[in-house]
Amino acid sequence: MESIKIGTQSYELVADGYQLQQDGGCIIFQPGEQTFEEVETVMSGVKSILLLDENGDTMASRTDLVYAGRMTRQKDYVIRVEKNQTGTDSEGNAVYEYKDITGTVLIAEFRLPDLREKYAALEEEVTNTQLAIVELYEGGEA
């Protein structure tokens, strides 16, 4: 099963749980033992979203999105579908039963940063650069 890694935290995705498009979207995942508030804290500090395969290898990376501030909990969400053979028909073909496996998931929404956020990040970068230049000018090390 695929998972996502945000910061140091990993979460197991449900089937088709990675729904990020070019301009944002959502991820649908199982929170594990974390509370809603703990997960929301992790999402609020997102710097990158890594999509991992079942072996933990990175399949995709997004560093251009920010948490949209919207997350919902949904109970009885279909996490996966199990296929069980229940017998055979009169011609000897296997007969299967499909069973929905449900559980509680969190749905977190992400979006591209707006211009104010980009401006604030650039302003902070310029300030840090100016401070480094002043320190170098005064004979220190940046």
pLDDT digits (tens, 9 = 90+) for 46-75: 889 999 999 999 999 999 999 999 999 999
Dig out the tokens for 102 from the structure: 């449900």
Same-domain status, 107 and 118: no
At 63, which helix (H) or strand (E)?
none
132/76 same-domain check: no
pLDDT tens for 88-97 read 999 999 999 9
Task: Answer yes or no: do 128 and 76 share one domain.
Answer: no
Kindly state whether residues 78 and 41 are assigned to the same domain. Answer: yes
Alpha-carbon torsion (107, 46, 110, 62), positive or negative: negative
How sure is the predictor about 11, in pLDDT bands with cuts at 50, 70 and 90? Answer: very high
Tell whether 78 and 126 lie within a shared domain: no
Tell me the C-alpha to C-alpha distance, in Å, between residue 20 and each of 43, 67, 99: 15, 12, 27
User: Does this model's pTM top 0.75?
Assistant: no
- The answer on 128 and 103 residing in a single domain is no
Q: What's the pLDDT tens digit per position in 76-125? A: 999 988 999 999 999 999 999 999 999 999 999 999 988 777 788 788 88
Q: Are 57 and 70 in contact (CB under 8 A)?
A: no
pLDDT in tens, 18-43: 999 999 999 999 999 999 999 999 99
Tally of domains in the chain: 2
Same domain, 102 and 128: no
Q: Residue 53: which domain range? A: 3-111
For CA atoms 39, 45, 49, 55, give the dihedral sign. Answer: negative
Alpha-carbon gap, residue 29 to 34, rounded angstroms: 12
**How many residues are recorded in the chain?**
142
136 and 125 within one domain? yes
Same domain, 101 and 125: no
| Tokens encoding 67 | 């948490």
Distance set, CA 33 to CA 9, 10, 12 (Å): 12, 12, 12
Q: Are residues 95 and 66 in the same domain?
A: yes
Same domain, 51 and 120: no
Please check whether residues 87 and 49 belong to one and the same domain.
yes
